[in-house]
Chain A
Amino acid sequence: MTSRPIRRTCNVVWVSFYLAFIAMALMVRGRLPAAVLWRSLSGMRWFRSRFRQRLDDFSPEQGTCWVANVAGGPISDRDARSRLQLYEDKRPIGPPHSLHDDIRTLGGGRFSHWANHLYFSTSDGSDPRSNGRTYEVVEQ
């Protein structure tokens, strides 16, 4: 007779393999978003150097929110949890992963990395196009 701990371990192993197989089958059939897995794998730091980009093209969004383009590569909050930190004149600002409504209404340096865009606010609500400061995102 198989002891309970051994049976439990066997159950964990075979169910893990079974679920992984089903996940792949569902992605092949287009039921699950395979792009999430692909973006995540390609965004893993194991496969490339630390991401760093100076931001220089800002568009006003709403309220205190501005939008800047971020090159593809790092994982964004759309797919999992972005690891980008925004620096204003080399000082980190935030918090990251903020709600876009909070960025628009509360500002204060809040930002969100969403797909290939950075939705952000400056620390004092000033216009990043004319306040003379530098803005840079660096992967943590």
Chain B
Amino acid sequence: MTVAASLDQDCASTLKVCRAPLNNLFVCPQTGAALTVQRGALVSSDGRRYPIVREIPRFVTDDKYVGSFSFEWNTHTDTQLDAFNGSASSEAIFAEKTALRPVDVAGKLVLDAGVGAGRFSDVLSRWGANVVGIDLSYAVEAAHANFRDRANVMIAQADIGKLPFADGTFDLIVSIGVLHHTPSTETYFKALVPKLKPGGRIVIWVYPNEGDYKIRNYWIPYTSRIPAEAFYDWCRWFVPWAARRRESLLVQVIHRLFPFSNQGLGMENDILDTFDGYSPSFHGIHSNAEVTGWFADTGLAEIKALPVLTSVTGIRPSSTGPAGTASTGSG
């Protein structure tokens, strides 16, 4: 056996490409051409190569503007995963923000756009979906490690703006708490929609333009400049310090000016969530009307604003009509 053949076989097995229905999903994000596994990479017919590094296909060369997420999710690899922490909090949050139930996703091909460490892919996977999780950051290392033994999850490093999938690939696309961290929430949302099959559903949740999200929006231009390690050290000191003094006036005033996490899901979660709230480069905040407007623009139908503010869902019509055919409802 040649070295190349050996590598090909190795890649094929580790990529899970032999496992239907996650078989042959990827295409060249530049041209849409089919990709084949060759010598440790996915290669298009015109010679473009996308390396498979540590068993993960890479469609980007680095983590661009999401370095804080690379740091965050490789520090807290499993803090928020129900399968590891023994709680059902992520499942409850997912159900609340998507209004999906296990019966809605079982057997479906689902794209988790912005997988992070895999908090919601874990839920989808346990509910019986076949999940493809992508992320621009090196969080994919943590996600891949978390799902190494699950045949129904595939992880890749890719940009939502240049997705390595053919149009009409997925039955369901979910993106919960991700798109507002891109340079343009609207543009990146609209890049997802064509990847839905006709009749497929998309559900997103983005930051609402009110409350703590609005206050954090003022901080982000300054806090996102703090090196990730330094800010994380500060969060590791501050959040437990504040938690011990929750009743003190000083901490209550700080909380009004600098809202920090106190979700009741444990100290590690609060440290992670505080870091997550202030470290990203982009922090878009949006109204329900704005988000439902994007859904209508893309010709989605059965658009519904869910009870959780700025959680919106819609379906790609079987035959896409003009944007005006979409109906808008509220939950």
* Residue positions of A touching B, CB distance < 8 A: 7-8, 11-12, 14-16, 18-19, 22-23, 26-27, 31-33, 36-37, 40, 43-44, 75, 79-81
Contacts and interface: CB of A to CB of B under 8 A. Distances in A.
A12 B257 contact: no
A18 B219 CA distance: 12
B218 interface: yes
A63 to B, nearest CB: 26
A19 B237 CA distance: 14
Contact of A22 (B215, B219, B252): B219
B222 interface: yes
B234 A81 contact: no
Given A18-B226, A22-B222, A40 B249 contact: yes
B167 interface: no
Contacts of A27: 257
18 contacts: A8-B233, A8-B236, A11-B234, A14-B230, A15-B233, A15-B234, A16-B234, A16-B238, A22-B223, A23-B258, A31-B218, A32-B218, A37-B257, A40-B249, A40-B253, A43-B249, A80-B249, A80-B256
Contact of B253 (A14, A18, A19, A37): A37
A12 B247 contact: no
A12 B258 contact: no
B233 A11 contact: yes
B257 A36 contact: yes
A7 B258 CA distance: 24
Contacts of A16: 234, 238
Given A32-B215, A37-B253, A80-B252, A12 B233 contact: yes
B127 interface: no
A15 B256 contact: no
B147 interface: no
Interface in B189-241: 215, 218-219, 222-223, 226, 229-231, 233-234, 236-238
Contacts of A11: 229-231, 233-234
Contacts of A23: 257-258
Contacts of B247: 81
A36 B251 CA distance: 12
B285 to A, nearest CB: 14
B234 A26 contact: no
Contacts of B229: 11
Nearest to B217: A31
**Which has the most chain B C-beta neighbours within 10 Å: A18, A19, A23, A37?**
A19
Contacts of B226: 15, 18
A26 to B, nearest CB: 6
A31 to B, nearest CB: 4
**Which has the most chain B C-beta neighbours within 10 Å: A12, A16, A37, A44?**
A12
A60 B130 CA distance: 59
Contacts of A22: 219, 222-223
Contacts of A36: 253, 256-257
Contacts of B258: 19, 23
Closest 4 A-B residue pairs measured CB to CB? Answer: A80-B252, A15-B234, A11-B233, A11-B230
A33 B234 contact: no
A24 to B, nearest CB: 10
A70 to B, nearest CB: 18
A36 B218 CA distance: 16
Contacts of A15: 226, 230-231, 233-234
Contact of B249 (A19, A31, A75): A75
Contacts of A80: 249, 252-253, 256
A67 to B, nearest CB: 24
A37 B81 CA distance: 37
